[in-house]
Structure 1
Amino acid sequence: MIKCGGRCIAIACISVVVVVVGWLFWCGPHTTVLLVRHADRAGTLDQINALGTVRAGVLAHVMDKAPLDAIIRSDAVRAEQTASPTAAAEGLTPIVLAGADVQAFVDEIRVNHRGQRVLVVGHSNTVPDIITALGGPAVTIPDTEFDNLFVLELCRCRGGARLTNLQYGAPTQ
């Protein structure tokens, strides 16, 4: 039997504290990334149409139920029009990034928004790439769909990312 008195107990307690603090630091709070494609548009115009305006309002209402820390959107007019009602309702100024620069979106989320709830407004060809770059599964968004709301939960402790695909507003046809 090893005899070391209170010193062994103190060392054991310190070891447990170091492990727990290290685990908490490494895991940290999880990040929730909510991703949408810009709202409905007519043809190839860089603006949303009347249905898109309604959908942007619905998005603001949905996000009101899940308060946000940040909004990141592409520099396209249709992304601005989609994000604006939510930004106004949340009192946030969106972070504007080049629409095609997927890595800029990923870096912004990972570096500046760890542990936060972030709305990303992108495009049918960038939202799927952002999801996979953050560790989520591959998804596709057809050019005719505007009602997807992807919820990507990022947690290092549980092994990465978990994706839920919801719909908001009227179903796209």
Structure 2
Amino acid sequence: MKRLFLFLPLLLMLSTAVLAQTTDVWIVRHAEKDKSNPQDTDPALSDEGRIRAGDLATYLKKEKFDVAFSTPFKRTHQTLDSLIIQKVIDYKDIPSLVDSVKKNYSGKTVIVAGHSNTILEIIEAFGGKRPMEMLTDDDYDYIFHLTVKDDKARVKKDQYGRPHHL
């Protein structure tokens, strides 16, 4: 009976550790887009944006991603093109993105490419605190690393590539 009482707490601790896995979520805004045709609603990356996408690959060269999530636009996909990722999944809304990551990629490393008006909302949807008040249309050099456990996320903000605010 004593062994049972010693074994139960150990079993409980192990099951809790298995259930509460940490997921690494990297979130980045797409790189600079080609603005030469204001009528184009799905522009590709500009030359500067392609350079930044390469800088992203350099910045993340030590990371091994299990999956990437991208909005269904050229510029978000092209931003991730220089990373070696086997699976890229399109997402259309933040709740389904977060739900998919939590259900299917718990304990994994994922990257999300989004837009200036969605990045901070994605961070909050994962349970993180907004690391800055807003992202402007000119902010291309920020990257956010979330360490997600249960419904809380620790957020680290960094910059990569050529500083955008010169």
- Common topology (TM > 0.5): yes
* Pick aligned residue for 1:123 from 86, 97, 115: 115
**Cα distance, 1:77–1:60 mapped onto 2, change above 3 Å:** same
SS of aligned partner of 2:81: helix
Which residue pairs with 1:161 in the alignment?
Answer: 153
1:58-73 equivalence runs, <5 A: 58-73=55-70
- Summarize the Cα distance change of 1:24–1:95 in structure 2 as closer, same or farther, 3 Å threshold: same
Q: 3-state DSSP class of the match of 2:102?
A: helix
**Residue 171 (structure 1) aligned to one of 155, 163, 166:** 163
Q: Identify, as 1 or 2, the structure richer in helix.
A: 1
For 1:85, give the aligned amino acid: S
Alpha-carbon deviations, 1:91-122, whole Å to 9, x = none? 42311122xx1112111211111111101001
Determine the C-alpha separation between the residues in 2 that align with 1:22 and 1:123: 38
- Deviations along 1:57-115, one digit per CA (max 9) or x if unpaired, are 111222221111111111011111111111xxx242311122xx111211121111111
CA distance in 1, matches of 2:19, 2:91: 28
In structure 2, what is the Cα distance between the partners aligned to 1:16 and 1:104? 36
- TM-score, length basis structure 1: 0.84
Q: Tell me the distance in 1 between the aligned counterparts of 2:85 and 2:28.
A: 19
Rg bigger for which structure?
1
Which segments of 5 or more consecutive residues in structure 2 lack a partner in the other structure?
A: none
Write the deviation string for residues 20-61 of structure 1: whole angstroms up to 9, x where unpaired.
123213322x10100000001243552211110000011122
| Separation in structure 1 between the aligned mates of residue 45 and residue 15 of structure 2, nearest angstrom | 47
Task: Using the TM superposition, give the Cα deviation of residue 171 of structure 1 relative to its aligned residue in structure 2, in angstroms.
Answer: 0.7
The number of aligned residues is 158
Match of 1:53 among 50, 54, 67: 50
User: Hey, what does 1:136 align to over in structure 2?
Assistant: 128
RMSD: 1.6
Q: Which residue of 2 aligns with 1:105?
A: 97
Q: Is the Cα–Cα contact under 8 Å of residues 67 and 85 in structure 2 kept in the other structure?
A: no
In structure 1, stretches of 5+ residues that fail to align are 1-6
Mean alpha-carbon deviation: is it higher for 42-51 or for 119-128? 42-51
- Gap change, CA 1:17 and 1:111, over 3 Å in 2: same
Displacement, 1:11? 2.2
